[in-house]
Structure 1
Amino acid sequence: MQKEIELAITPDFIEDEQHILSEGARKLGLSPKRIQGMFIRKRSIDARSRQVVYRIRVVFYIDEPYTPEIIRPIIQPVHQAKPVVIIGAGPAGLFAAYRCLERGLKPIVLERGKEVRERRRDLAKINKEGFVNPESNYCFGEGGAGTYSDGKLYTRSNKRGDVQKVLQIFVQHGATSDILVDARPHIGTNKLPHIIEDMRQTILEHGGEIHFNCRVDDILVNFGKVEGVRTADGENIKSEHVIVATGHSARDIFELFRRKGWLIEAKPFALGVRIEHPQEIIDQAQYHCAVRHENLPPAYYSLVEQVNDRGVFSFCMCPGGIIAPCATDKEEIVVNGWSPSKRNNPHANSGTVIQINLDDVPNALEDAFALLDFQRQVERKAFDLGGGSLVAPAQRMVDFVNSKVSGTLPENSYKPGTKSVDLREVLPDFVHKALRGALPIFGKKMKGYYTNEAILVGVESRTSSPIRIPRDKDSLQHPEISGLYPCGEGAGYAGGIVSAAIDGINCVDAIGLS
């Protein structure tokens, strides 16, 4: 017999299996001898009261032995199978390729950037020299933007598909099984590249293809039907099915659609800054303590407030993290955040952003590029005010609210460097005003948040794609082009690693039904 119950366990005992077993037996009214095994199904931290506890859902095996569930992937060789071209090797593209193996289709993945390990040299140049390779950077390359941007797997996309399946595939390729249990699963930028490499090996061993340094410059269409793609070196690759999984920063793909006269549309996105605090401030506020318990992870937060009828919210919060330069072209500043698996850096950072709606930008209903052009203008203004070499404009938090240029800036994790400026010169007026109104309110919600020890670094602008590539709700194909499947963040249908992976799976399933 199996019984699943919830227990509240203090950090002192969260790693003590005997204590958990005893607590379970007590709550079930059983002798501990009758429990022959257990496993934790879900684990989360409850810090609402002064005593922080782990809330865990535990399955106890009563009068029967514990037998762990073994999930074996059902994939098959596809060397001679029907080809599916997948543009992009981010999470949407890689999980689409893996799903092809399950569905008996041959994935041909075309990635403009480099293999995940080779990307490191280009990232080092970005951080040390301020040099951006437009084909290989934090956004472009194997694994996509998420590989070197944290590996957070938290999602609200349960209705879109099987989240657990995505997590299981990560575990099969080397991720710790903790991601199946934790309420806010996280792999870490230091570990995710190895997992991506293992996924690549699985795809190749079963007959799929992955081509790096292979930018797609054209999608071949005849009489409204896809026939394949043309790469930058002039090679034509034939396929009746093409999945466009290029990510939110592949602006040349949007330009391709515009040149072809294919339907695309402006889409709201969010824009703001990345805010960084000393991690100890966040720990003290969230855990109600002077020093974080050794069995508690660095604390995170999630904040939202309405100011001037606009939502201001934290986004992609990185405990123990780093602010990273994520520009994809010259003369632009884009910042994001990431954390290693241990989240053991001294700072915590989070995007803090405001949604940019269609009515905020002139002609957005008529011009699909209106919001993208707006995004680009802000990024270039940030670059100009930083003074070059990816130095980012920045301001202390209280100084920002008081419209005061900071005399000095606090030590921070952004490696190319920061320059003290008045961020009113960077941010659109309505964005600046909403942020100014929200930050003191956030300080009332979370003790210690509103402080001049915190730094605002601009700009956080690639929260999602400012353009959507439309698709049919049922077939997931572009409404004008049969066999063309807009997919993932770049097409406007995902917002993170897991949701993008789910969308890649869904697109392949749609091909299987066509």
Structure 2
Amino acid sequence: MQKEIEITIAPEHVTNEQIILQHLAKGLKVEISTIKQHKVLKRSIDARSRKVIYRLQVRAYIDENPIIEGNTINYQKVTSDKTVLIIGAGPAGLFSALQCIENGLKPIIVERGKDVKQRRRDLAAINKQGLVNTESNYCYGEGGAGTYSDGKLYTRSNKRGDINKVLQIFVQHGADQDILIDARPHIGTNKLPQIITAIRETIQNAGGEVLFDSKLTDLIIEEGKIKGIVINQEQELLANSVILATGHSARDIYELLHKKNILIEAKPFALGVRIEHPQQIIDSAQYHCDTRSDFLPPAYYSMVEQVKTRGVFSFCMCPGGIIAPCATDLNEIVVNGWSPSKRNNPYANSGTVVQVTLDDVQGYDPLRMLKFQSEIEHLAFDAGGGNLVAPAQRMIDFVQNKLSIDLPKNSYLPGVKSVMLDNILPDFVSQSLRSALPIFGKKMKGYYTNEAILVGVESRTSSPVRIPRDKETLQHPQITGLFPCAEGAGYAGGIVSAAIDGINCANAVLNN
């Protein structure tokens, strides 16, 4: 007999099998000896009261042993009879390639950047010298933006596809089993590159191809049908199906589509700053303590507030994390955040952003939101003075409209410069943040403090352009065989949702 039950347990006992058994027996009103095995299905922290606990959803096997189910996918060899071109080797591209192989199709991934190993040199140049390689950076290259910016796997995309399948594939390629049960699964920037490499090797071993340093520069279209692509201005690759999974920062792709009169649409996005606190402040507030227990991870938070008609919200929160320079072009500042698997850095950071609507940027140009985004990033670069030095301000100084005399120690390696952020951010963004931050401070003790630093700008929360597609076939309404996919097309937001959309597009290719 199998029974599922939720139990609560102290943090220091969360991995103690004997104590878990005692809680199960008590909750199920059975003898411990009758519980042959148990399996933790979900695990989450509940810090709503002063006594922090773990909540475990557990399946108990009473007087029976579980049937061991194999979750490993065996990828069979594919031939070149049916080829699918996949543009981009981010999570959408990689998972669409795996699904193509499952479907008996041969994927060829075309990636403008380098493999994960080669990317490291370019990231070091960004962090230490402020030098941006426009084809290899935090956003471009194998694994996409997520590879070196955290590997957070939390998603609300339950209705879009099989989240568990995505997590199982990560585990199959080296991720910790804990991601299958944690409420907020996280791999960590230090571990994700090896996992991405293993996924690529699976694709290649099954007969798929991955082409690096291969930039899409044109689409070959005849009579409304895709026939192939051009890479690096010279090489043609022919196929009747192209999955466009280029991510939210590949501005040249939007410009190419617009130049070829292929329908694209302006899309709302969010804009703001990345806010960093000492992790101890967040731990103390969330866990109601002076010092965090060794049995608890660095604390997480999520904030949202409606300021008049605009939403202000935290985004991509990184406990024990680092603020990273994520520009993809010269003379722009873009910041993001990441955490190692142990989340053991002394700072906590989160994007804190304001909704930008289509009405905020007047006109009919489908690229107008992208241009607006770019203008803010260039203003931030100019304010910082170059070398990816980022404009910054202490939190209370920002709210009180004061220039910070000095700035707190922080994790942003290229460096920060004290600047009035009002000179960079649009007035409606500044005023919305100025209203929301003190309210956030009332919701979480210690949040509203001058020990916190605001670093600008957080501008790549999502794509400012949507590439439309048919709801049923997932093809572009004008181009048969072109499948806009994931974040770059405006249909995903994060690693797991992008992976799911990649899987869905691969299945759409098969169905069509």
| TM-score interval, smaller chain | over 0.9
Please name the residue that 2:379 is paired with.
381
Q: Distance in 1 between matches of 2:161 and 2:282?
A: 33
Q: Structure 2 matches for 1:350-429, cutoff 5 A?
A: 350-363=350-363, 366-429=364-427
Q: What is the identity, as a one-letter code, of the residue corresponding to 1:481?
A: I
Secondary structure of the equivalent of 1:118?
A: helix
Please name the residue that 1:122 is paired with.
122
Please name the residue that 1:185 is paired with.
185
Give RMSD over aligned pairs.
0.7
CA shift digits 1:84-112 (9 cap, x unpaired):
00000000000000001100000000000
Please name the residue that 1:482 is paired with.
480
Please name the residue that 1:452 is paired with.
450
Secondary structure of the equivalent of 1:117?
A: helix
- TM-superposed CA distance for 1:39, in Å, is 1.1
1:276 lines up with 2:276 in the alignment: yes
Q: Is the 8 A contact 1:386 1:393 kept in 2?
A: yes
Q: Distance in 1 between matches of 2:58 and 2:178?
A: 14
Q: Distance in 2 between matches of 1:233 and 1:214?
A: 10
Please name the residue that 2:500 is paired with.
502
CA shift digits 1:432-484 (9 cap, x unpaired):
00000000000000000000000000000000000000000100000000000
Q: Is the 8 A contact 1:81 1:104 kept in 2?
A: no
- TM-superposed CA distance for 1:233, in Å, is 4.8
Q: Distance in 2 between matches of 1:63 and 1:235?
A: 64
Please name the residue that 1:104 is paired with.
104
Q: Distance in 1 between matches of 2:258 and 2:204?
A: 34
Q: Distance in 1 between matches of 2:72 and 2:372?
A: 48
Q: What is the identity, as a one-letter code, of the residue corresponding to 1:495?
A: G
Q: Distance in 2 between matches of 1:249 and 1:432?
A: 24
Gapped regions of structure 2 (runs ≥ 5):
none
Q: Distance in 1 between matches of 2:344 and 2:126?
A: 23
Gapped regions of structure 1 (runs ≥ 5):
none
Q: What is the identity, as a one-letter code, of the residue corresponding to 1:273?
A: V
Q: Quick one: structure 1 residues 280 and 68, their matched pair in 2 at CA, closer, same or farther if it must change by over 3 Å? A: farther
Q: Is the 8 A contact 2:402 2:420 kept in 1?
A: yes
Please name the residue that 2:36 is paired with.
36
Q: Distance in 1 between matches of 2:358 and 2:36?
A: 59
Q: Is the 8 A contact 1:110 1:214 kept in 2?
A: yes
Q: What is the identity, as a one-letter code, of the residue corresponding to 1:449?
A: Y
Q: What is the identity, as a one-letter code, of the residue corresponding to 1:392?
A: A
Q: Distance in 2 between matches of 1:308 and 1:2?
A: 50
List structure 1 runs of 4+ shifted beyond 6 angstroms: none
Secondary structure of the equivalent of 2:116?
A: coil
Q: Is the 8 A contact 1:50 1:287 kept in 2?
A: yes
Q: Distance in 2 between matches of 1:331 and 1:432?
A: 22
Please name the residue that 2:83 is paired with.
83
How many residues are paired up? Answer: 512
Q: Distance in 2 between matches of 1:174 and 1:108?
A: 23
Q: Distance in 2 between matches of 1:168 and 1:277?
A: 34
Please name the residue that 2:226 is paired with.
226
Secondary structure of the equivalent of 1:462?
A: coil
Secondary structure of the equivalent of 2:174?
A: coil
1:8 lines up with 2:12 in the alignment: no
Secondary structure of the equivalent of 2:146?
A: coil
Q: Is the 8 A contact 1:110 1:212 kept in 2?
A: yes
Q: Percent identity?
A: 67
The more displaced of 129-138 and 59-68 is 59-68
Q: Is the 8 A contact 1:312 1:354 kept in 2?
A: yes
Secondary structure of the equivalent of 1:99?
A: helix
Please name the residue that 1:430 is paired with.
428
Q: What is the identity, as a one-letter code, of the residue corresponding to 1:385?
A: A
Q: Is the 8 A contact 2:218 2:233 kept in 1?
A: no
Q: Distance in 1 between matches of 2:309 and 2:250?
A: 32
CA shift digits 1:23-65 (9 cap, x unpaired):
1001111111111111100000111111111000111111112
Q: What is the identity, as a one-letter code, of the residue corresponding to 2:386?
A: G
Q: Distance in 2 between matches of 1:71 and 1:343?
A: 29
Please name the residue that 1:71 is paired with.
71
Q: Distance in 1 between matches of 2:179 and 2:409?
A: 32
CA shift digits 1:259-304 (9 cap, x unpaired):
1011001000000000000000000000011111111110000000
CA shift digits 1:327-362 (9 cap, x unpaired):
000000000000000000000000000111000001
Q: Structure 2 matches for 1:336-355, cutoff 5 A?
A: 336-355=336-355
CA shift digits 1:294-326 (9 cap, x unpaired):
111100000001113211000000000000000
Secondary structure of the equivalent of 1:196?
A: helix
Secondary structure of the equivalent of 1:207?
A: coil
- TM-superposed CA distance for 1:122, in Å, is 0.1
Q: Structure 2 matches for 1:93-172, cutoff 5 A?
A: 93-172=93-172
